[in-house]
A and B are shown apart, each in its own frame.
Chain A
Amino acid sequence: MYIVVSYDIPEDKRRTKIHSILKSYGQWMQLSVFECDITSTQYAKLRSRLSKLIKPDTDSVRFYFLCGCCQRKVERIGGEQPRDETIFFAESPST
């Protein structure tokens, strides 16, 4: 499933932690917005990890589910593009 995650966390340290967890499940698109293409098991794990970490009275995390047909209708102007996930090269650009 395809999920857009957005969050509001006032405390820097906790925000960094949330950011790091989300990076393990999806791609960072904008300041506090991630897009994750994951299975329901992976979603459950992500959700439980996040809910353990946040302080519900000050923090908030939102998950927006995109269906297959809506996912194709996403328009992007500038900024991050979704990465190609069929092949990854580990190589420094300089050499």
Chain B
Amino acid sequence: MGTVYVTQIDAFIGKIDERLTVKAEQKTILDIPLIKIEGIVVLGRATISPAVVNELLDRHICLTFLTQSGRYLGRLEPEVTKNIFVRKAQWQAVGESQPAIHLVRGFVRGKLKNYRHSLLRTQREHPDIDLNNNITRLENAIAPIEKTNNIDSLRGLEGAGSAAYFGCFQQLIKTSEFQFEARRRRPPTDPVNALLSFGYSLLRHDVQSALNIVGFDPYLGYLHVERYGRPSLALDLMEEFRPLIVDAVVLSLINKRSLTLTDFTTEPLSGAVSLTKEGLHTFLRAYEQKKQSNFKHPVMGNKCTYQEAFEIQARLLSKYLMNEIEKYPPLILK
């Protein structure tokens, strides 16, 4: 099962028999059985035939629209599952409730601990770099998490921890070609930020699909407050995966010099930086490979891929909310 990325501008997405076909300038550029597809991501403009829309909804294949530079626009989604009990438990935990505080603690702890491991690993592998200061700051943010009982303070700890991590992100980059000063979004104005933002958009597509499969309403979150059109729960569950998947892919591509400055273009007015066609392919392929790579799940104890881990974490989330397990264990990898 794979993801289809439509990167051709003004492509036509149609269907023949039980296959997805993509055409551009009267030529078929892709012809793949629908049974092999689990998600479609359209970058830029595309026309989609009504027959395909029906077929995708019917087969529960998610279709996500991103702009050419990778900003999230929206998605076509099959009906939410009929499992009302999961959504009821989700709604009951809203606000400053005990389960909500527990979950936010889990999300923040997961993210910061993964940040910490990634810094510790760099420190071990490159003794010449001094990250002690930032690691201490991160640990100072992690330590009070268990004792903190209100969500706003937890948000503060998350902010402090992230600041400590991104404060030394530059030192994780091993080539002089790329510079990282601070996290910049909307639009990202340097290559590293552009890659991070693009990666987070893709990650969101995957996490939200997993939440949908399990039966959640992705728009009601605990760490992220509700805002019109913002999938807060997807953003919540994304936190622990950010360093594990996106940051890891971005750093490995840059440090192995798979991407160079020639893979980026800058828009003259806004200063927005985006990937060229070749760069985009390199990035998407690396992201997809990462998602399909195996690791041992620390809680379940068996081998799984990151792709499966999205759903495992979503299921653990639902089990916690439905009182089937005592604690929500965020995915923390050493």
Contact = CB atoms under 8 A, between A and B. Distances in A.
B74 interface: no
A90 interface: yes
B29 A90 contact: yes
Given A24-B17, A25-B35, A38-B35, A86 B5 contact: no
Contact of B22 (A42, A90, A93): A90
A86 B288 CA distance: 7
A40 to B, nearest CB: 13
Interface stretch (B6-14, B247-255, B260-268, B319-327): B6-14
B7 A91 contact: yes
Given A26-B33, A91-B29, A92-B24, A86 B7 contact: no
Given A21-B17, A38-B35, A87 B8 contact: no
A87 B25 contact: no
Given A24-B18, A25-B33, A92 B5 contact: no
Interface residues of B, number: 34
Contacts of B33: 23-26
A26 B32 CA distance: 9
Contacts of A25: 18, 33, 35
Given A20-B16, A23-B19, A24-B19, A87 B27 contact: no
Contacts of B292: 86
Contact of B2 (A26, A42, A85): A85
A84 B5 CA distance: 14
A88 B17 contact: no
Contacts of B7: 89-91
A90 B16 contact: no
B17 A92 contact: no
Contact of A23 (B1, B31, B289): B31
A93 B7 CA distance: 11
Interface string A69-91: 00000000000000011111111
A90 B30 contact: yes
A90 B11 contact: yes
B120 interface: no
A26 B8 CA distance: 25
Closest 10 CB pairs of A and B: A24-B18, A90-B22, A90-B30, A87-B288, A90-B6, A88-B4, A91-B8, A86-B2, A24-B17, A85-B2
